[in-house]
C-alpha cells in the first residue's frame, strides 16, 4: 500500500512557513545537519507529480529553493522547527 495522495484542497496555502533539514559541511569535510526554513511560494506540477516550491535561507546564508511533495509533510518537511530538529538529530546520530 502506497501513501494516500493529499487532496488538492488540503494542500498548504502559498506563504506557509516550513522547516526542513539541510546538510552543512565544515572543517575539512565534516558534515552536520541543520534546520533551514522557507516559505511556500508555489507548486510545480506535471501529470504524475506535484512539488511544493519552498524558498528560504540555506545553511550558508544564501537563498535556496527546495522542492518537496505535499505527502512529505511530516517526514522531510515540517510545520515546526522542533520537528525538523528531531529529524536533523536522527540523521546526525
Q: Is-contact 23 59, C-beta < 8 A?
A: yes
Q: Which three cell numbers stand for residue 29?
A: 569535510
Tens of pLDDT, residues 45-88: 888 888 999 999 998 889 999 999 999 999 999 999 999 999 99
Q: How many CB atoms lie within 10 A of CB 68?
A: 18
pLDDT at 1: 45
Count how many Cα atoms sit within 13 Å of the Cα of residue 42 in the half-sphere of its side chain. Answer: 3
Task: Check if the beta carbon of residue 88 is closer than 8 Å to that of residue 34.
Answer: yes
The reported pLDDT for the residue numbered 6 is: 64
pLDDT score for 32: 86
Amino acid at each position: 500500500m502506497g501513501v494516500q495522495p493529499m487532496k488538492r484542497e488540503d494542500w498548504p496555502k502559498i506563504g506557509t512557513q516550513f522547516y526542513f533539514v539541510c546538510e552543512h559541511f565544515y572543517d575539512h569535510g565534516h558534515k552536520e545537519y541543520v534546520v533551514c526554513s522557507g516559505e511556500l511560494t508555489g507548486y510545480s506540477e506535471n501529470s504524475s507529480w506535484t512539488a511544493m516550491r519552498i524558498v528560504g535561507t540555506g545553511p550558508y546564508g544564501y537563498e535556496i529553493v527546495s522542492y518537496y511533495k505535499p505527502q512529505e509533510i511530516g517526514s522531510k518537511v515540517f510545520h515546526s522547527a522542533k520537528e525538523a530538529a528531531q529529524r536533523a538529530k536522527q540523521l546526525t546520530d
